[in-house]
Structure 1
Amino acid sequence: MSVPHQPAATARPRTPREPGELFGPRTALFAEVLAAGVYCTLASLPVITAPTAFAAACRLLREAADDGRPATPGRYLAALRAPGAGRSLRAGLALLALATLLALDTALAGAGLPGAAVVRWVLAAVGAAALLVGVRAAADPAVADAGWRRALSGAVSRSGEDRRGTAWLAAALCLTGVIAWMSPPLALLAPGALAFAVTAVEARAAVREETAPQA
């Protein structure tokens, strides 16, 4: 008695990403985020290089998402050496000056002046808004070529238009700060998690702009 021939089952192609994921398999993403966090922290030690270091971390994760490139030290150094290094150092000096000014104003507000509580809240809001716009500008792919001024202008516009993304970034900033405060050793990895968050939000915003109906 002959058994009817059955065609061999064809294996389904394995997709590199799960539905709804922006960055591919979760295990690979976790390793990329950890690596980006370590690189960014080390490159930010001189303080004025912090904007450049964070922008390079965002670029590293974006390349890992788009092209599957591994987050190696060599690729991170290449991102650090991207055009516009002088502009990035000036941005670092501006960031340091702003942080110093806010710290001095906060210290003066705590010296028993009238309305000190209100001034503290206003300064905290200004600092949080500046930080949110800054990290969003760092994830702009054109920040190295067009400069920080144009990137900051675009980040301000996107922050107002993409309110949901702005809320997610605010939550990511708060969560990153809380984690670093509760466990200082994790502060070494915190920039990677924050870079992942802002890169994901910016990727989502870019997709929305591409799929939005033209007027």
Structure 2
Amino acid sequence: MPAREAGEVFGPRMTLFADVLSVGLATAVACLPLLTAPAALSTACAVLRGAREDRPATAGRYFVLLRRRLRTGDFVVGALAAAGVLLLAADLALARAGLPGGSAFAVIAACIGACAMVTGLRACARPESLTDWRTALRRAGRDCVGDLGGSGLVLLAVATAALCAWMLVPLAFLAPGPLALALTAVDVRRDVEFIP
């Protein structure tokens, strides 16, 4: 880790922390239309992945990349993600309504929803998501099965982000940055560990 340069107040670790928070805030703003949420998170992961190669991880670079990459496929993926969340919420509401077998169905629906969420989040972390969502989703599905530890880490990252947002609501606007960093770290660690 490089040492502080003359006149630098904070070291490189604090700079990365500040960059993650600024990218998180930019991602929260970009997610507000909801249909742009997958593209926004994917762009955040790409910006943070670039920090390994000494590219700036700033909100300005984030918005430049997001504007350059938004295309019809990103909105389709956003619409599918929103439809999946609504379908899961409707299924869980019906299960709570007292239907026979509702509690077993709720558990199954929650497991399917968690698997779909992990696959979608891992797809956002894949570099292919910038240009080809199908390839990113296919490879993310393979990663979920082949790297159960990484999938567990993604679930823990989501739970941590949700807990932070629940405990202090203003943190919800910063949570996408650490979440994107966690997703990127899970994806990058596969390259480092040489997991088949």
Q: TM-score, normalised on structure 1?
A: 0.82
Instruction: Give 1:184's aligned residue.
Output: 169
Q: Which residue, 111, 125, 148 being the options, matches 1:125?
A: 111
Q: Which amino acid aligns with 1:155?
A: A
Alignment of 1:37-186 (within 5 A): 37-73=24-60, 75-83=61-69, 85-145=71-131, 147-186=132-171
Measure how far apart 1:121 and its partner are.
Answer: 1.4
Measure how far apart 1:82 and its partner are.
Answer: 3.6
Structure 1 contact 64–71 (Cα < 8 Å) conserved: no
Runs of at least 5 residues in structure 1 that lack an aligned partner in the other structure: 1-14, 18-23
Structure 2 contact 39–70 (Cα < 8 Å) conserved: no
Q: Which amino acid aligns with 1:107?
A: A
Instruction: Give 1:3's aligned residue.
Output: none
Measure how far apart 1:148 and its partner are.
Answer: 1.1
Cα distance in 2 for partners of 1:43, 1:192 equals: 12
Q: Which amino acid aligns with 1:37?
A: G
Which of structures 1 and 2 has the bigger CA Rg? Answer: 1
Runs of at least 5 residues in structure 2 that lack an aligned partner in the other structure: 4-10
Give me the CA root mean square deviation: 1.8
Q: Does the alignment pair 1:34 with 2:21? A: yes
Cα distance in 2 for partners of 1:166, 1:71 equals: 27
Instruction: Give 1:194's aligned residue.
Output: 179
Q: Which amino acid aligns with 1:161?
A: G
Q: TM-score, normalised on structure 2?
A: 0.90
Cα distance in 2 for partners of 1:139, 1:168 equals: 13
% identical equivalent positions: 41
Structure 1 contact 52–85 (Cα < 8 Å) conserved: no
Query: Which is richer in helix?
Result: 2
Cα distance in 1 for partners of 2:99, 2:158 equals: 30
Cα distance in 1 for partners of 2:55, 2:114 equals: 33
